[in-house]
Structures are given as structure tokens and as C-alpha cells.
């Protein structure tokens, strides 16, 4: 059995954000190790490479099950206009992950 899965989280970004005009929503993609729950890789629909790199630093290597700590890091350290959308997309991905983990047929 493969140890990693790919899942996404999404959220609305502010209407004045370039993300909204380019993609409509803020998306985050995560590769998660299903045995350790650790985020192995991440990408998101940010318009700046520096933003993607910074968000990657915030999330990769941490447990997706530690949702509150992840969101706290976003709130404390990420002060871009899509802060709320990023936090919501992480919460969305964490909820999907918990649902998958609870489903024995998944």
C-alpha cells in the first residue's frame, strides 16, 4: 500500500486579491503520509513564488492532524491578503483527511 495521498483544500479569497481574478478560489494541494500524517509536499494557488515557498515552510514536515497549530502558524506568521483563505483551505484539507482516515474503505 502506498503511504502517501494527495488531497486539496479550497477557500474563497478576497475579491481584490489577484488569486480571485486568476483562479476564482484559493486552492492548496498537499501530499500526506497516511501512517505519520505528516505533510510531505505542498503547493498553492498563490501568485508569487515567494508566497508558495513561505507557505511550504509553514506546513511541510508537520502533521495535518495538528490543524489548530497549523492555523495558528498561519495567523501568527502569514500576513498576506489571503491569510484567511489559506487558513480555511488548510482546515478544509484537514477535514477531508479526517473523513478519509475514518472511512475504512478509503
Look up the CATH number of the domain holding residue 68. Answer: 3.90.1010.10
pTM value is 0.86
pLDDT of residue 12: 75
Question: Span 102-106, mean pLDDT?
Answer: 63
The residue segments making up the domain with residue 91 are 4-102
pLDDT of residue 18: 53
Number of domain units in the chain: 1
pLDDT tens digit sequence for 53-87: 999 999 999 999 999 999 999 999 999 888 999 99
* Band of pLDDT at residue 47, cut at 50, 70 and 90: confident
DSSP letters along 26-69, please?
EEEEEEEETTT-BEEEEEE--SSHHHHHHHHHHHTTSBTT-HHH
pLDDT of residue 49: 92
Terminus-to-terminus CA distance in the chain, angstroms?
A: 12
Place of cell 481574478: 21
pLDDT of residue 71: 97
Total residue length of the chain: 106
Amino acid at each position: 500500500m502506498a503511504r502517501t495521498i494527495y488531497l486539496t483544500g479550497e477557500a474563497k479569497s478576497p475579491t481584490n486579491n489577484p488569486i480571485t481574478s486568476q483562479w476564482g478560489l484559493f486552492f492548496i494541494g498537499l501530499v500526506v503520509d497516511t501512517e505519520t500524517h505528516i505533510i510531505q509536499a505542498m503547493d498553492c494557488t498563490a501568485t508569487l513564488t515567494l508566497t508558495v515557498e513561505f507557505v511550504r515552510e509553514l506546513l511541510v514536515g508537520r502533521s495535518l492532524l495538528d490543524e489548530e497549530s497549523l492555523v495558528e502558524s498561519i495567523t501568527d506568521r502569514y500576513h498576506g491578503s489571503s491569510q484567511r483563505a489559506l487558513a480555511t483551505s488548510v482546515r478544509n484539507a484537514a477535514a477531508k483527511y479526517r473523513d478519509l482516515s475514518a472511512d475504512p474503505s478509503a
